[in-house]
Structure formats: structure tokens, C-alpha cells
């Protein structure tokens, strides 16, 4: 066993954890008020704080990103078929199945790894009602082209923005694009509440519908207007989010330093391609994917094993493709011949560790192992 393997393992992401003593006053306030959930004061404060920080009009907090996706689809009353990407975490497509919607997979762009706008129109049928793209790794989709297609065909657009907290393009927050955007605040995300999620809305009426749907459809004690779910965020999670906001800027700055260090150290390693930015004016460096090309001395899975044997735990995000799982592989759009870029990328991608507590010496160790396979 190598010396590095004896050290604590290095994972691809680790949650940002502020000092415990700073969280105690929040816990004391929750304990004293006895208001544990159901739109409590911390819940309301976090919604307003996120609107200000992200530069969006309305934020509805939910218990996690998957429930947020399911609820977003219900909010816009999406039915029939929805065009989406096979190259994402499986919750993207699962949210469609939970709503009785048929996913239609479209291939990805080889440079951004986002849904390829050039392939969307060919997948539209009379049953298509929406497009569900993903800002993969936090890199913005081609929002202008997707909006043009959606407008032409009368389709809704819901962005899975689980990776895109704080990301801005030339027009401001990427969360302002589409009809709705969905965030995840899972512990592995840039900003987290341990577990949590949110829907970004453009108007108060839409937010109100989300708020009804995430609380069983209740309007008041006697009135239910929709078959809602229990998707409310607790006061504990909201309080943690408020505390995390105090640290988010320094966390993003440190992630940027690590990203630049990786790129510098890997720039001359033959067969390793770092994914380029996709036009962000403010990237969040949520992940650091590399693609293992044919001229690299060993295959991607061999590199994956080499790193794990040295106490480093990268992730093959996203392998297998969503379209390869049993509940999807029977769909005509799930055939590998329909998804050549996504299929190839899934065999090459490796996300390296990236989180604020990652040390420079650890980055040096990781890149030395990659440079000398």
C-alpha cells in the first residue's frame, strides 16, 4: 500500500462545514421557538437571502432536488413527452417517470456535454410538451438556442440546475432562463443544506402554486387545491443554509484556485482533456471533469482504479448513462446509436476531487499520479 493510501481518503466532493459553535445559536432559536418546519422564520429568511444572493425574483425551498424536479413538472402541468439528456444524474429522468411522463433522450454537445440544441427539433413530436436540459457540471446550456426552439414549438423549458448555484452568464444568473430552474442543496453541492432543493420562479403566482404543491396542496386548514406532496424544508436545514451563505464566496474562490491548479498541472499531460468553460462570466467550479482520450497510456477505468488504490476516490459522472438503466433502455431514444457522443463520453469521463478543504499538496499528488500512470 502506498503512503498516500494510508492517509484519509480523498473523495470527489465533501460538504462545506462551518464551525459548529456558529450553528449553536440557530439551534437554540429553533428549540426555543418550537417551530421546526412548515414555513418557519429561517425558511422564510433563507428564501429571501437566496433571492438576493442569486439575483432571482422568487425561490421556493423544498426538501431535496429530486422532489423539486417532480414538483416543477407538476407546477407547469407537464404531460406526454419531455426531451432531456441521458448524461446526468438519474434523478433528472426519474422525475419524469414519477409524473407519468415519457423521457425522450437527445445526444449531448461534445464540447459542453450539455443537451445539443442541434438535435432537439428532430426529437419533437405531437406529444412533446417540454424540454428538460441540465447545466452539466455547472456549465450553462445554450439557453438562447433552446429558448428559440421552445418558443417556435410552444414548449415549456425547465432547467435542471442542480450543479449551477451562483453561476452567471452575460445576462445575469443562469437560473433566470427557462420557465423554471431547479436547484439541489445536497451535501455534495457547492451550496448545501445537508439535504435540500429549490425551484426558481419568475412570478409570485407560480411560486404560490409551488408552495401549495410542496405542502399537500393546502391553502388553509380546510382547503386543498392540488394533489401535493410533503416537500417542505425543515427549519434545521434552512438555518444551516443561512450559515452556509456566510461562507459561500470564499468557498467559490477556493474552488476556483483548485480548478486553475488542476488545469496548470494537467495542461501538458497527453491524452487528458480538461473540459473548457461554457461562456460563464461567473463559474462555480462545481466539478472538475477530465476526459481520458485514446492517446493516454491506460484506459479510463484503469486510471480510476489507480487513483482509488492510492486513497483518491474520483467519480465516473456520468457512467452508466441514464438511458442504459433498465427502466429506460427499452425506449427508442435510449439506443446507443441515437446517443453516440454521450455514449463515448460516459466511457471517458472522470471527475477529480474538488472542494474548499482540498489542499495544494493533495492536488499535486492527484495530478502526479495522472501524469505518471
For the chain, domain boundaries: 20-106+114-245, 248-371
> From CA 99, how far away is CA 69, in angstroms rounded?
10
Task: Judge whether 7 and 206 are in contact, CB under 8 Å.
Answer: no
pLDDT for residue 222 is more than 70: yes
Cα–Cα nearest to 71, from 242, 250, 206: 206
Quote the pTM value: 0.96
Task: Render the burial of 327-362: b for 16+ CB within 10 Å, e for the rest.
Answer: ebeebebbeeebbebbbebbebbbbbbbbbebeeeb
Task: Judge whether 144 and 125 are in contact, CB under 8 Å.
Answer: no
Please write the tens of the pLDDT for every residue from 14-61.
Answer: 988 888 899 999 999 999 999 999 999 999 999 999 999 999 999 999
Q: Would you state the pLDDT for residue 17? A: 83
Please write the tens of the pLDDT for every residue from 145-189.
Answer: 999 999 999 999 999 999 999 999 998 999 999 999 999 999 999
Asked if the domains 20-106+114-245 and 248-371 are classified in one and the same CATH topology, the answer is: no
Three-state SS at 209: helix
335 contacts: CB under 8 Å, gap ≥ 6: 323
> For the chain, what is the mean pLDDT?
96
Domain 20-106+114-245 has CATH 3.40.640.10: yes
> What class has domain 248-371?
alpha beta
> From CA 284, how far away is CA 165, in angstroms rounded?
7
Amino acid at each position: 500500500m502506498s503512503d498516500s493510501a494510508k492517509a484519509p481518503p480523498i473523495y470527489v466532493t465533501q460538504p462545506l462545514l462551518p464551525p459548529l459553535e456558529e450553528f449553536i445559536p440557530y439551534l437554540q432559536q429553533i428549540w426555543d421557538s418550537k417551530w421546526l418546519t412548515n414555513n418557519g422564520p429561517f425558511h422564510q429568511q433563507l428564501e429571501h437571502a437566496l433571492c438576493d444572493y442569486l439575483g432571482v425574483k422568487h425561490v421556493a425551498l423544498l426538501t431535496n432536488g429530486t422532489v423539486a424536479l417532480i414538483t416543477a413538472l407538476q407546477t407547469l402541468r407537464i404531460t406526454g413527452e419531455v426531451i432531456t439528456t441521458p448524461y446526468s444524474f438519474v434523478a433528472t429522468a426519474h422525475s419524469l417517470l414519477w409524473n407519468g411522463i415519457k423521457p425522450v433522450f437527445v445526444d449531448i454537445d461534445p464540447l459542453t456535454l450539455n443537451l445539443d440544441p442541434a438535435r432537439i427539433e428532430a426529437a419533437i413530436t405531437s406529444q412533446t410538451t417540454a424540454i428538460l436540459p441540465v447545466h452539466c457540471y455547472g456549465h450553462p446550456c445554450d439557453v438562447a438556442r433552446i429558448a428559440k426552439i421552445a418558443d417556435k414549438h410552444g414548449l415549456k423549458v425547465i432547467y435542471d440546475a442542480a450543479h449551477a448555484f451562483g453561476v452567471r452568464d452575460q445576462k445575469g444568473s443562469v437560473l433566470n432562463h427557462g420557465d423554471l430552474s431547479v436547484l439541489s442543496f445536497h451535501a455534495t453541492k457547492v451550496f448545501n443544506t445537508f439535504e435540500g432543493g429549490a425551484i426558481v420562479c419568475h412570478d409570485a403566482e407560480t411560486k404560490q402554486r409551488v408552495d401549495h404543491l410542496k405542502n399537500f396542496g393546502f391553502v388553509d386548514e380546510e382547503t386543498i387545491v392540488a394533489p401535493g406532496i410533503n416537500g417542505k424544508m425543515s427549519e434545521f436545514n434552512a438555518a444551516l443554509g443561512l450559515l452556509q451563505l456566510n461562507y459561500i464566496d470564499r468557498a467559490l474562490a477556493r474552488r476556483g484556485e483548485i480548478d486553475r491548479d488542476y488545469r496548470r498541472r494537467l495542461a501538458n499531460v497527453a491524452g487528458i482533456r480538461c473540459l473548457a468553460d461554457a461562456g460563464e462570466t461567473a463559474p462555480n467550479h462545481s466539478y472538475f471533469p477530465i476526459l481520458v482520450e485514446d492517446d493516454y497510456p491506460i484506459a479510463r477505468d484503469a486510471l480510476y482504479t489507480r487513483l482509488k488504490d492510492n486513497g483518491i476516490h474520483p467519480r465516473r459522472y456520468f457512467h452508466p448513462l441514464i438511458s442504459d438503466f433498465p427502466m429506460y433502455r427499452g425506449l427508442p431514444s435510449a439506443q446507443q446509436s441515437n446517443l453516440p457522443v454521450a455514449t463515448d463520453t460516459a466511457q471517458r469521463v472522470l471527475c477529480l476531487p474538488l472542494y474548499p478543504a482540498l489542499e495544494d499538496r493533495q492536488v499535486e499528488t492527484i495530478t502526479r499520479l495522472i501524469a505518471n500512470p
